[in-house]
Structure 1
Amino acid sequence: MATLLIALGAGLAFLVAYHTYGRWLGRKVFNLAADAVCPSERLRDDQDYVPTSKGIVFGHHFTSIAGTGPIVGPAIAVMWGWLPALLWVVLGSIFIGAVHDFGALVVSLRNNGQTVGDIAGRVLNKRVRLLFLLVLFMALTIVLAIFGLVIAAVFKQYPAAITPCLIQIPIAVAIGVYLHRKGKNLLIPSLIALGVMYLTVIYGDTGFLHDFNQYLASLSIITWVGILLVYSYIASVLPVWSLLQPRDYINSLQLLTALGLIVVGLFAAAFIGGAPPVEGADRQPLEIVAPMLNPSPEGAPMIYPFLFITIACGAISGFHCLVSSGTSSKQLKKETDAQFVGYGSMVTEGFLATLVILACVAGLGLGSNVDGKLLQGTEAFTSRYASWASASGLGAKVGAFVDGAANFLQVLGLPASVAVALMGVLVASFAGTTLDTACRLQRYVVQELAGTFVGGTSSDRSESDSFNPLRILTNKQGATVFAIVIAAAMAAMPVPGSEWAWANAGKGGLILWPMFGATNQLLGGLAFLVITFWLWRRGKPIWFVALPLIFMLIMPAWAMLIQIPEWLNADQKNWALIGIAVATIALELWMIVEAVLLFPKVKGIAESGELSPETTA
């Protein structure tokens, strides 16, 4: 029963926070106005700037920010005990993550849908803008290089998820075209799409489709990375309404209903126990089988600061500021929708992370098959979490959640194969939506960086600039190709400590992946810096962002300062990782110094380039 009470308590906390703290931010701090003219209307081009209903933008935003982060992070952080992980997820989502996402979205709405990196150039200075954009470029390159590997690994682990994920693409295109041409009510198409997607989960691994899935699962990592990057290129350059929006929207329908099924299964398991492992066997009672607090697991780093780096998505993630200011701000048609999309999506992700924790610390106890042997209770948990090394691999983390959540679904009578396939689709779909959104965001960052060195946009320049080689990167196609090529080149590099081989190709993103958690959280701190200065310049209260700002600048820097000596003392030194880590800390210190020097000079002084009142209301 404790598991059920935790789920209910967390869900209630998120709802109360949305209707109290979130509403206060929207009305009293950000002064959201229903009649304000949003960038989607003012700059409408039906490519990136497209006025869209808040339900569809929520679907895009939620699936883009969630990714695999709120799954793999909490699934390993429970090694320090379920209570620290739960507290960080709930409190972090409400007071840090949701404020970060909501604030970045509003600031971008008030700045023509520009990214926080570009906005930093006005609210702080041009040097900070360039430094910020460089950090964004590095973080997004790692995401693009690694997420192809993540999706390929999930497909290899759960081949039954392949066909359902592939079929989502033509369904999304059909809905996108239908809505764009007809502009009719979305209810019936949504129900049809949702029904078809669930049918593909149930029957997508039967008959010849089973052989098809097995064949695709056998493809090499580098093949999958290439396929996924090509898909990301296409999704990035197409109009946002044709694929990105509808795919994220229908994904959100499937993913949210899947989360609903997990909750219903958790309810049922709390009262009647888990599904009998074999016919005639007793039901295993639902109980937490993991320790409440375990500050020193075997081989694990210190709980502080690494808990706050391990759980990023699900509490706060710097990547979210890119989605808020890169894509979602260009689609909202009403300012007042920002609370629902920005704050609401983050607390929904926090609830997802809560369910992941419960699936790993209680759902696994209902039954886990390890090496052909059925384990239950505490033994099922310890078999997955014997040491940090045994639990830290992608397969182990995803597997713990999938098996635990599938146990909840089996209580409802779903066959084990369908339950596992549905959870595999959930993980792969989250990763896929993050990948294509990250590619579009990287395109914006490349264009902004190239524009810095070329001067203005491609439409502003004269023919005399035509021979500047960077000019091509200010173009949508050129910037996207550049982003894909860089990501592919990194992915194709040898695995750290190994010679290049076809079997290793595609895993090169692992070179910088150990630093991604800290870089990602640092990005959140830097986004808070932009939000803080934007409010400070307008005489708004900043206490609610200043405290998260300090926390999110200290924790990732602390983690990197601990890790750099360890990497230097390793037998096989990863100099690329070490060099970029040192450079990242230097960039952070530089930006902090710039901010401290500027802070007392700009209170109540709006930045130059501020949008005039008639453009925002």
Structure 2
Amino acid sequence: MITFFGALIFLILGYIFYSKFVERVFGINDQQPTPAYTKRDNFDFIPMPWWKGNLIQLLNIAGLGPIYGAIMGALYGPVAFIWIVIGCIFAGAVHDYFSGMLSLRNNGAQFPTIVGKYLGKFVKSGIYVISIVLMLLVAAAFTAGPAQLIAQLTPLTFTMAILIIFGYFLLVTLLPVNQIIGRFYPFFGGILLFMAISIAIALIFSDRQIPNLTLENLHPEGLPLWPLLMVTISCGAISGFHCTQSPIVACTMKKESDGRKIFYGAMITEGVLTLIWAAAGMAFFHGTIGLSEALAIGGPSYVVNEISTSLLGTLGGILAVVGVIMLPITTGDTALRSSRMILTELLSKFFNMNGKLKVLAVTLLLATPAFYMATIDYTFLWRYVGWTNQLVATVMLWTATMYLLQENKFHWITGIPALFMTAVVTNYLFYAPEGLNMDYRLSLIIGGFLTLVVLVWYINKIVKFRKLNNMGINENVA
């Protein structure tokens, strides 16, 4: 258990120390009014306390990600703990903090608008499409899973369950953020925390041993560690989906100093949840081979149910059902909400988008393809979520890097993670079955070359901004 507890301690220390360093680099100003006040419309822009924002952010970015992703990532063994810690502290939490704070500084702007400001109009155009596609994929994938379980537990058919879930999606998307999301989602966030903590305590006091990282289990046979682990465990380490959700909460913040607790804090909490579920997956089934056999029986939902009911009894069974149904639904609806906000922001440049009927029209426009995709096989959808998700994360990190370069601040805190994630997504694109499905070694060569090209671009930007700063010129990179 030493590796597990060591990872847990490092996550906590990461929040205590590194989050404050990141906050100092960004430079907060509590005297500056936030969009929750300057653009208050009692719909998307409305002030809420930081603790609500933290739990809402946690629920929005989590869903079943830190559970299902952690269980799948546990197949790689204890090395997954290392990726969760390093990815979460130095990449994921930094990514989430900058996505939220840059939205705050830009009047609650959505992710594509922020990208356009710092990376240019060309990248902005592409990211509009990619981010909306990602939102629809997430909404669809996080609908299909709960609908299947509802159909198994009730007289409702799969189609009827999907219709009910999408009806709920429309309701939440069309209501002010403080009506359902602000009132009930902190409670569901609490359930997510309670479930994981209960599992952790029961696991520690059981006879099952959480494996430590050793040379023997560093690389399980048949599973290429790079870059698959970094895509399999995304929500608990770094996930591009988060930067599409951060503006929702950024529009409700009362002051800038709340950002560290909300964005960085929620990501560290998700890292802890992921760590717990990865440990449970390894320990409960006595290693990666047992976990692989359990996944072959009924997938991640079967594993979650077995762990929960065995360790927590009836309470565990109830929590498992609630978790597998409610958690993805509460992420799916905010995915639809954020896609509505992104598309509305885009269309507002050409049309007057005020009025509830126009909000409804945009929501239905997005809900229709999401509803269709929800009828497609869940595992097929999730395969395409992975790479798209990490591509969006990479773009967000480069956006933050260009912001820091422009402001003459310490850009390495986002630049190094951005370069690392560039290597992840390029290698994955060429190697993965849902990508180009090329030979592994050839994929590494091509991915390495493309990463080198991006590194040269990054160095050129550093030189450019250093010259401009020395001349006292502040130039927008776009």
Query: TM-score normalised by the shorter chain: which range applies?
Result: 0.7 to 0.9
Q: 2:372 is matched with which residue: 489, 500, 505?
A: 489
Question: Counterparts of 1:422 and 1:146 in 2: how far apart (Å)?
Answer: 21
For residue 224 of structure 1, report the CA deviation from its aligned partner: 1.7
Asked if residue 16 in structure 1 is aligned to residue 13 in structure 2, the reply is: yes
> Residue 4 of structure 2 contacts residue 81 of structure 2 at CA under 8 Å; is this kept in 1?
no
Equivalent residue number for residue 252 of structure 1: 189
SS in 2 for 1:425: helix
SS in 1 for 2:432: helix
Equivalent residue number for residue 305 of structure 1: 227
Q: 2:146 is matched with which residue: 135, 142, 151?
A: 151
Q: 2:268 is matched with which residue: 344, 347, 370?
A: 347
Equivalent residue number for residue 104 of structure 2: 109
Equivalent residue number for residue 361 of structure 2: 478
> Residue 79 of structure 1 contacts residue 297 of structure 1 at CA under 8 Å; is this kept in 2?
no
Gaps in structure 1 of 5+ consecutive residues = 160-213, 274-284, 366-376, 410-415, 460-471, 492-505, 570-587, 611-617
Whose Rg is larger?
A: 1
Question: Counterparts of 2:130 and 2:435 in 1: how far apart (Å)?
Answer: 23
Asked if residue 29 in structure 1 is aligned to residue 25 in structure 2, the reply is: yes
For residue 24 of structure 1, report the CA deviation from its aligned partner: 1.4
Equivalent residue number for residue 228 of structure 1: 165
SS in 1 for 2:423: helix
Q: Which one-letter code corresponds to 1:339 in the other structure? A: R
Q: 1:120 to 1:591 in 2, by over 3 A?
A: farther
Question: Counterparts of 2:362 and 2:435 in 1: how far apart (Å)?
Answer: 36
SS in 2 for 1:475: helix
For residue 132 of structure 1, report the CA deviation from its aligned partner: 1.2
For residue 139 of structure 1, report the CA deviation from its aligned partner: 0.8
Gaps in structure 2 of 5+ consecutive residues = 439-450
For residue 316 of structure 1, report the CA deviation from its aligned partner: 0.6
Equivalent residue number for residue 385 of structure 1: 292
Q: Which one-letter code corresponds to 2:75 in the other structure? A: M
Equivalent residue number for residue 464 of structure 1: none
Residues 183-262 of structure 1 mapped to structure 2, 5 A cutoff: 214-215=154-155, 219-262=156-199
SS in 2 for 1:438: helix
Equivalent residue number for residue 263 of structure 1: 200
Q: 1:223 to 1:40 in 2, by over 3 A?
A: same
Question: Counterparts of 2:352 and 2:122 in 1: how far apart (Å)?
Answer: 19
Residues 254-333 of structure 1 mapped to structure 2, 5 A cutoff: 254-267=191-204, 269=205, 273=206, 285-288=207-210, 293=217, 295-297=219-221, 300=223, 302-325=224-247, 327-333=248-254
Question: Counterparts of 1:348 and 1:422 in 2: how far apart (Å)?
Answer: 19
Question: Counterparts of 2:376 and 2:316 in 1: how far apart (Å)?
Answer: 29
Question: Counterparts of 1:474 and 1:318 in 2: how far apart (Å)?
Answer: 30
Question: Counterparts of 1:589 and 1:484 in 2: how far apart (Å)?
Answer: 40
What CA deviation, in whole Å up to 9, does each residue of 1:70-126 have, x standing for no partner? 111121122222x21111111111111100001111111100011121112222222
What CA deviation, in whole Å up to 9, does each residue of 1:1-47 have, x standing for no partner? x2xx4444333222211111101111x21111232211111101110
Q: 1:392 to 1:307 in 2, by over 3 A?
A: farther
> Residue 447 of structure 1 contacts residue 474 of structure 1 at CA under 8 Å; is this kept in 2?
no
Equivalent residue number for residue 448 of structure 2: none
For residue 515 of structure 1, report the CA deviation from its aligned partner: 2.1
Supply the RMSD in Å over aligned alpha carbons: 3.1
Question: Counterparts of 2:351 and 2:57 in 1: how far apart (Å)?
Answer: 29
> Residue 18 of structure 1 contacts residue 343 of structure 1 at CA under 8 Å; is this kept in 2?
yes
SS in 2 for 1:335: coil
Equivalent residue number for residue 371 of structure 1: none
Q: Percent identity?
A: 26
Q: Which one-letter code corresponds to 1:440 in the other structure? A: R
Q: 1:458 is matched with which residue: 353, 356, 373?
A: 353
Question: Counterparts of 2:159 and 2:221 in 1: how far apart (Å)?
Answer: 34
Q: 1:146 to 1:592 in 2, by over 3 A?
A: farther
Q: 1:62 is matched with which residue: 53, 58, 62?
A: 58
For residue 151 of structure 1, report the CA deviation from its aligned partner: 1.4
For residue 428 of structure 1, report the CA deviation from its aligned partner: 2.6
TM-score, normalised to structure 1's length? 0.69
Question: Counterparts of 2:110 and 2:403 in 1: how far apart (Å)?
Answer: 13
For residue 264 of structure 1, report the CA deviation from its aligned partner: 3.0
For residue 63 of structure 1, report the CA deviation from its aligned partner: 0.6
Residues 68-217 of structure 1 mapped to structure 2, 5 A cutoff: 68-81=64-77, 83-155=78-150, 159=153, 214-215=154-155
For residue 424 of structure 1, report the CA deviation from its aligned partner: 2.6
Question: Counterparts of 2:398 and 2:435 in 1: how far apart (Å)?
Answer: 29
For residue 396 of structure 1, report the CA deviation from its aligned partner: 1.9
Question: Counterparts of 2:211 and 2:49 in 1: how far apart (Å)?
Answer: 43
SS in 1 for 2:371: helix
TM-score, normalised to structure 2's length? 0.87
Q: 1:443 to 1:606 in 2, by over 3 A?
A: farther
Q: Which one-letter code corresponds to 1:38 in the other structure? A: T
Question: Counterparts of 1:119 and 1:148 in 2: how far apart (Å)?
Answer: 29
Equivalent residue number for residue 164 of structure 1: none
Question: Counterparts of 2:239 and 2:344 in 1: how far apart (Å)?
Answer: 23
Q: Which one-letter code corresponds to 1:523 in the other structure? A: V
SS in 2 for 1:443: helix
For residue 140 of structure 1, report the CA deviation from its aligned partner: 1.0
Q: 1:404 is matched with which residue: 289, 307, 326?
A: 307
For residue 60 of structure 1, report the CA deviation from its aligned partner: 0.6
What CA deviation, in whole Å up to 9, does each residue of 1:440-477 have, x standing for no partner? 0110122233345xx36536xxxxxxxxxxxx999322
